[in-house]
Amino acid sequence: FTSVKSELLPSHPLELSEKNASITSNFQLNQDNRNFATLRNIQGLHASLKLQMEFRAVKQVQRLPFLHSSNIALDTLRGNDESIGFEDILNDPSQSEAMGEPHMMVEYKLGLL
């Protein structure tokens, strides 16, 4: 019954919002966009643009590829620095501690390999 399945509406309003990407990144992106829109409506366009520039600058700063980066500055800008979440206790598997050859990892990151 593929024709019936395509005509059904989502069972929950958030289903469409969270369907296409991973849950945390898509949720966080939607939440950031909502916060920017609220800030733009309350304080004007300059406040939202300033915060977006700060987000972009903070996302570019990282440790060396073989070291774990906590992104504490990004958490501080989002207001998540004082809360304890799932990722603080049971970390994301992609961020697991895997020590490799530091020189090779940096060369790979710079595109030399």
For every residue of the chain, DSSP letters joined together read -HHHHHHPPPSSTHHHHHHSS-HHHHHHHHHHHHHHHHHHHHH-HHHHHHHHHHHHHHHH----TTS----HHHHHHHT-TT---HHHHS--GGG------HHHHHHHHHT--
Give the mean pLDDT of 30-57: 92
Claim to verify: residue 45 and residue 76 sit in the same structural domain: no
49 versus 20: which is more confidently predicted? 49
Query: pTM, whole model, 2 decimals?
Result: 0.59
In the chain, the number of structural domains is: 2
- Give the whole-angstrom CA distance, residue 88 versus residue 72: 12
Are 31 and 50 in a shared domain? yes
pLDDT (tens digit per residue) in 68-89? 777 889 889 988 888 887 777 7
How far is Cα 77 from Cα 34, in angstroms, rounded to an integer?
A: 15
Say yes or no to pLDDT of 16 above 60. yes
Residues 56 and 68 in one domain: no
pLDDT recorded at residue 42 = 95
Residue 23 placed within a domain = yes
Rounded to 5 degrees, φ, ψ at 85 are -120, -175
Tens of pLDDT along 92-103? 666 666 667 888
**Domain check: are 51 and 68 in the same one?**
no
